[in-house]
């Protein structure tokens, strides 16, 4: 979903429809902490790296949790 959100924000820039609305609704709670972190590190950055950071962190968390099973 995060990748779909990232691609749809580029492909449908400035256009919002029901699909992109619901994708944003699902991914916003996940991406917002990473967007805040990025804004603290690099304010006024024209590129949003929060989807990439979120995917890396979620992958690390998944690997840590799966190592306990």
pLDDT tens over the chain, length 69 residues: 999 999 988 888 777 788 889 999 999 999 999 999 999 999 988 889 999 999 999 999 999 999 998
CB 18 within 8 A of CB 6: no
What are 46's two structure tokens?
A: 């024209």
Helices (H), the chain: 2-11, 18-41, 50-68
């Amino acid at each position: 979903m995060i990748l779909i959100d990232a691609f749809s924000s580029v492909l449908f820039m400035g256009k919002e429809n029901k699909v992109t609305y619901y994708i944003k609704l699902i991914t916003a709670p996940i991406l917002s902490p990473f967007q805040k972190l990025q804004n603290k590190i690099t304010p006024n950055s024209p590129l949003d790296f929060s989807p990439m950071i979120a995917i890396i962190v979620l992958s690390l968390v998944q690997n840590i949790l799966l190592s306990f099973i």
